[in-house]
């Protein structure tokens, strides 16, 4: 007998409603009053779970961080080589945003215009952490595989993250019609073929 999935808590319901509004009301500013109507509770009830709208956004950002880095850890455990590792990490980011259009607006940053600077910094730090993870994968390649990036490690990791950020931006700007994974497989084949070179052997 399978165990029934417990219903989401009120806190989870609020965050799910906020993510849905970010998707459905693309370009509109989310208000506490509108969010309360979406959840079906009073504004006072929202504030019992989150002291501010900024805290709600932080809850969504925390969900993004936990989900992505949990899966990245799994990729690092299961995939030994640098190029497939990088490819799977980037594909994960693109697939995650494609499946979560509302959250892609958070990652793209447009929805945070006019919000507290702390939230924009949190998104910046998320992408910095992703870029650092790619740098680590690329640095380890020389020790594990005897190869190194064609460009310096920092430039290569930045190029890869820029690919993802650009695709997220296109997705948001097109009102979620231009999918982040569109043409990605072919483009990654081209990009990855130029990514690494054999490290020079010491004399």
Considering Cα of 171, then 173, then 176, then 182, what sign does the dihedral take? negative
State yes or no: pLDDT of 61 exceeds 60.
Answer: yes
| List of residues 6+ apart from 164 with CB closer than 8 A | 90, 93, 94, 130, 180
| List of residues 6+ apart from 116 with CB closer than 8 A | 54
Per the model's pLDDT, the better-predicted residue between 7 and 202 turns out to be 7
State yes or no: pLDDT of 121 exceeds 90.
Answer: yes
Rounded to an integer, the average pLDDT of 69-74 is 98
Residue with tokens 């799910």: 16
Triad 19, 24, 27: Cα angle to 5°: 95
Question: Which pLDDT band holds residue 29 (cuts at 50, 70, 90)?
Answer: confident
Spatial distance between the Cα atoms of 74 and 15, rounded to a whole number of angstroms: 26
User: What is the average pLDDT score of the chain?
Assistant: 90
Rounded to an integer, the average pLDDT of 157-161 is 97
Question: Which pLDDT band holds residue 5 (cuts at 50, 70, 90)?
Answer: low
Name the residue among 3, 31, 4 with its Cα closest to residue 17.
31
State yes or no: pLDDT of 103 exceeds 60.
Answer: yes
**Alpha carbon 42 to its chain's center:** 31
Over the stretch 128-140, which tens digit does the pLDDT of each residue have?
999 999 999 999 9
Helix (H, G, I), strand (E, B) or coil at 147: strand
Provide the whole-model pTM.
0.89
Name the residue among 192, 61, 67, 203 with its Cα closest to residue 137.
192
Spatial distance between the Cα atoms of 83 and 46, rounded to a whole number of angstroms: 45
Helix (H, G, I), strand (E, B) or coil at 149: strand
Residue with tokens 């906020």: 18
Neighbours of 185 (CB within 10 A): 10
Supply the DSSP symbol for 175: T
């Amino acid at each position: 007998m399978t165990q029934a999935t417990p219903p989401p808590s009120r806190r989870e319901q609020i965050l799910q409603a906020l993510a849905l509004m970010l998707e459905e009301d693309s370009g509109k500013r989310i208000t506490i009053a509108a969010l309360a109507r979406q959840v079906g509770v009073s504004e006072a009830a929202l504030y019992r779970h989150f002291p501010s709208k900024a805290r709600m956004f932080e809850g969504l950002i925390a969900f993004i961080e936990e989900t992505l880095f949990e899966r990245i850890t799994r990729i690092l455990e299961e995939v030994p080589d640098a190029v497939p590792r990088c490819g799977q990490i980037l594909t994960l980011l693109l697939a995650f945003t494609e499946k979560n259009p509302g959250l892609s607006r958070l990652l793209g940053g447009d929805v945070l215009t006019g919000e507290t600077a702390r939230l924009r910094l949190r998104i910046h730090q998320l992408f910095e952490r992703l870029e650092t993870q790619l740098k680590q994968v690329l640095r380890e390649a020389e020790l594990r595989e005897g190869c190194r990036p064609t460009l310096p490690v920092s430039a290569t990791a930045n190029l890869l993250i820029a690919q993802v950020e650009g695709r997220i931006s296109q997705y948001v700007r097109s009102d979620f019609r231009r999918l982040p994974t569109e043409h990605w497989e072919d483009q990654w084949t081209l990009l990855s073929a130029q990514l690494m070179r054999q490290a020079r052997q010491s004399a």
